[in-house]
């Protein structure tokens, strides 16, 4: 479940970083980020590279496709895929379907699926103390011999303050945003997992660093920006 919590937090952080239609971020063709992920003991566990493959301006914002490649600690490619991004009237919309990990989606692939979601949003401006919209998604199968259902809820998203963060990519003045996540799965038995996270976001750069914690506040690990162009 530590991997799942880091997956969700990392995805929140990355998706947040591509919001160009507000003053904090810039996104264009060829924009690229490299992130390093470390486990709770501070050991490098992998890297993620994202590149903007296509970018289209619209009358109200933009649509973009970002290719994301995940490598393990040995530099071997693990997964690769595309993420679709959109921004409308200054608000970046985060598609909650991206918060169901690929391995879980494969488990549902043989059956007809129903999806209900409420997307996350990132407003055009952030202020300290501001509460941000929560998001949720429920994915369930129809006609399977064993009922399968998964729900992810991202809640209590709050702009905690401003802090200076230093990573291999440089030193940045950031907004600090906290959140809570709940994952519920039903595959014969019901299981619930709760964890929390913090991310630091810098103007024109995006996510600089993120941390994940279990339900008791124990660190699961962190991700930091290694390079940006």
For residue 3, the model assigns a pLDDT of 56
What is the residue-wise DSSP string for 74-120? TS-EEEEEEEEEEEETTEEEE-GGGGS-HHHHHHHTTSEEEEEEE-E
Write the CATH number of the domain with boundaries 2-228: 2.40.360.20
- What is residue 17's predicted lDDT score, i.e. its pLDDT? 46
Kindly report, residue by residue over 41-80, the tens digit of the pLDDT.
999 999 999 998 998 988 888 888 888 898 999 999 988 8
Helices and strands (H and E) in the chain: how many: 2, 14
Domain ranges for the chain:
2-228
- Between CA 13 and CA 113 the distance in angstroms is 27
The pLDDT assigned to 85 comes to 76
**pLDDT less than 50: residues of the chain:** 14, 16-19
| pLDDT value of residue 4 | 57
Question: What is the separation of C-alpha 109 from the centre of its chain, rounded to a whole number of angstroms?
Answer: 23
pLDDT value, residue 65:
85
User: pTM (2 decimals)?
Assistant: 0.80
């Amino acid at each position: 479940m530590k991997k799942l919590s880091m997956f969700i937090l990392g995805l929140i952080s990355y998706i947040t970083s591509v919001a160009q239609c507000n003053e904090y971020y810039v996104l264009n063709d060829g924009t690229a980020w490299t992130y390093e992920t470390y486990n709770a003991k501070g050991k490098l566990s992998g890297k993620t590279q994202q590149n903007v493959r296509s970018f289209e301006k619209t009358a109200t914002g933009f649509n973009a496709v970002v290719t994301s490649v995940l490598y393990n600690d040995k530099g071997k490619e693990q997964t690769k895929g595309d993420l679709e991004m959109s921004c409308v009237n200054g608000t970046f919309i985060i598609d909650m379907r991206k918060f169901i990990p690929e391995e879980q989606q494969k488990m549902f692939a043989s059956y007809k699926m129903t999806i209900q979601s409420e997307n996350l949003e990132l407003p055009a401006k952030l202020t300290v103390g501001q509460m941000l919209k929560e998001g949720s998604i429920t994915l369930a199968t129809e006609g399977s011999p064993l009922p399968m259902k998964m729900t992810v809820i991202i809640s209590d998203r709050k702009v905690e303050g401003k802090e200076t963060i230093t990573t291999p990519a440089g030193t940045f003045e950031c907004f600090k945003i906290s959140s809570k996540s709940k994952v519920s799965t039903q595959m014969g038995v019901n299981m619930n997992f709760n964890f929390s996270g913090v991310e630091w976001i810098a103007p024109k750069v995006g996510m600089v660093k993120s941390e994940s914690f279990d339900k008791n506040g124990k660190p699961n690990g962190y991700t930091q920006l290694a390079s940006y162009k």
